[in-house]
């Protein structure tokens, strides 16, 4: 099989490519250049591309660099900024998977005659179904719920059956230069020097906003309403006293409502932009509302997820992913 291995410069994608070579596939490595900023960091940086190239050299495979900067800006960065302007909390990594890593990459791979693409995601494909990765601490199935049958048929996740410790041990045994490399934690286009505020300020106007309690009484002020996310506790300008959390963000009135921890609890969440791995799934499900959160029991009626017990409010714009056991059913975006 001719496989295009997406190599981010990290240990997981390095080992994924190595396993495919060991299996006898015709493997070519590719690293995506998505962000054209000289101070960039993370999976799209020059350093990461160099690391991927070094691994490819050790493995004896060709290594390509494909530049999708314009597509990344249009499909990921611009919508990220626009969402914040509306008081939402987007998940750019999921949109990158949707449009670039399993969209644009798959299309180009097909045009060049590759049978499949492979990544270092900790997830498993069994037949035509998507499952959590074997290592519960590194499972990345949450960010892959946007993959449907067409995409899954062309995807390979070689390290999905391994624990992270096993991945690192394999990399060390093969002498890969990424064996001890720390995992990337940051959004690749948000720099450590300027952070999210600098990125958004370069894209959208940032507005001061008033902070009120659940009764409508003014209790503080924020300098940039667009930086506030539901559930946030710090930086709300409310001074000392009892802990207060952002309950809602209204950009139209430039108001943040804050409340106590109990006010963050919600019985349900409405979903839009639904995606299904197979057919739509209704009824009892397990619900995961963040990449590293635990799944909790719930019921989905096609529009609304009702939790078996009230849960911490999901920030509008975040993904909510539905499971049955370890199987990924699909998911959607939390509505305001």
Assess whether 297 and 273 both reside in one domain: yes
Residue 102: HSE in the Cβ half-sphere, 13 Å Cα cutoff: 24
Which entry of 43, 155, 188, 275 is annotated as an active-site residue? 188
**pLDDT value of position 35:** 85
- Cα 199 to its chain centre, rounded Å, is 18
17 and 78: one domain?
yes
Inside any domain, residue 182: no
In order of 125, 129, 270, 285, the CA distances from 327 in angstroms are: 10, 7, 21, 10
Residue 293 lies in a domain: yes
pLDDT at 239: 75
Q: How confident is the model at residue 43 (pLDDT cuts 50, 70, 90)?
A: low
Q: Which residues contact 153 (CB under 8 A, 6 or more apart)?
A: 128
CA distance 255 to 270: 22
Q: Is 320 helix (H, G, I), strand (E, B) or coil?
A: strand
- What integer best gives the mean pLDDT of the chain? 94
Do 231 and 314 sit in the same domain of this protein?
A: no
Q: State mean pLDDT over 170-185.
A: 92
Q: Residue 165: what pLDDT?
A: 97
Q: Residue 228 has what pLDDT?
A: 96
Query: Which of 43, 96, 155, 275 is an active site residue?
Result: 96
Q: Cα torsion for 154, 158, 162, 164, to the nearest 10°?
A: -100
Q: Is the pTM of this model over 0.75?
A: yes
Is 251 in the same domain as 273? no
Task: Report the C-alpha gap between 246 and 64 in whole angstroms.
Answer: 45
**pLDDT surpasses 90 at 193:** no
Supply the pLDDT for residue 44.
Answer: 58
- Containing 111, the helix (H) or strand (E) segment is helix 105-111
The per-residue pLDDT for range 70-118, each reduced to its tens digit, is: 999 999 999 999 999 999 999 999 999 999 999 999 999 999 999 999 9
Q: Mind listing the pLDDT tens digit for each residue in 149-176?
A: 999 999 999 999 999 999 999 999 999 9
Q: Of all residues in the chain, what percent are helix, strand and coil, respectively (each to 5)?
A: 30, 30, 40
Clarify whether 275 is annotated catalytic: no
Report the CATH number that the domain containing residue 292 is assigned in CATH: 2.40.30.10
Query: Which whole-number Å values give the CA distances from 10 to 13, 49, 168, in the listed order?
Result: 6, 10, 11
Asked whether residue 230 falls in the same domain as residue 296, the answer is: no
> Confidence class of residue 319 from pLDDT cuts 50, 70 and 90?
very high
Count of structural domains within the chain: 3
Q: Could you tell me the residue range of the domain that residue 246 belongs to?
A: 205-259
DSSP per residue, 163-176: -HHHHHHHHHHHT-
Q: Quick one: 80 and 222 in the same domain?
A: no
61 and 162, same domain (yes or no): yes
> With bands split at pLDDT 50, 70 and 90, how would you rate the model's confidence at 192?
confident
pLDDT of residue 82: 97
CA-to-CA distance for 286 and 134, rounded, in angstroms? 18
Whether 188 is a known active-site residue: answer yes
Q: What is the pLDDT of residue 38?
A: 53
Least confident residue range of 26-30, 195-199, 261-265, 329-333: 195-199
Is residue 31 situated within a structural domain? yes
pLDDT of residue 185: 66
Which has more confidence, 129 or 193? 129
* Number of residues in the chain: 336
pLDDT at 188: 80
């Amino acid at each position: 099989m001719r496989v295009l291995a997406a190599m981010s410069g990290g240990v997981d994608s390095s080992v994924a490519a190595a396993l495919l070579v060991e299996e006898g596939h015709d493997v070519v490595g590719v690293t995506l250049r998505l962000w054209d900023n000289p101070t960039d960091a993370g999976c799209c940086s020059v350093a990461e591309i160099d690391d991927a190239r070094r691994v490819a050299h050790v493995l004896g495979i060709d290594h390509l660099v494909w530049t999708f900067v314009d597509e990344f800006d249009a499909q990921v960065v611009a919508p990220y900024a626009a969402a914040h302007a509306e008081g939402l909390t987007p998940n750019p990594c999921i949109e990158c998977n949707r449009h670039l890593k399993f969209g644009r990459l798959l299309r180009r791979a097909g045009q060049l005659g590759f049978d499949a693409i492979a990544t270092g995601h900790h997830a498993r494909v069994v037949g035509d179904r998507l499952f959590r990765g074997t290592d519960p601490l590194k499972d990345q199935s949450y960010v892959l719920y946007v993959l449907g049958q067409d995409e899954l048929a062309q995807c390979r996740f070689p390290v999905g059956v391994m624990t992270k410790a096993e991945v690192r041990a394999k990399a060390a045994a093969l002498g890969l230069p990424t064996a001890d490399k720390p995992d990337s934690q940051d959004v690749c286009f948000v720099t450590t020097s300027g952070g999210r505020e600098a990125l958004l300020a370069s894209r959208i106007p940032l507005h001061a906003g008033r902070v009120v309690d659940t009764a409508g009484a003014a209790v503080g002020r924020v300098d940039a309403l667009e930086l506030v996310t539901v559930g946030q506790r710090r930086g709300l300008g409310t001074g000392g006293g009892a802990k207060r959390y952002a309950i809602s963000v209204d950009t139209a009135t430039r108001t943040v409502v804050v409340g106590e921890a109990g006010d963050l609890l919600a019985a349900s969440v409405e979903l839009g932009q639904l995606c299904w791995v197979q057919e739509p799934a209704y009824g009892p499900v397990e619900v995961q509302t963040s990449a590293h959160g635990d799944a909790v029991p719930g019921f989905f009626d096609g529009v609304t997820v009702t939790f078996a017990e009230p849960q911490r409010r999901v920030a509008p714009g975040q993904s909510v992913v539905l499971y049955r056991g370890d199987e990924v059913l699909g998911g959607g975006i939390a509505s305001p």
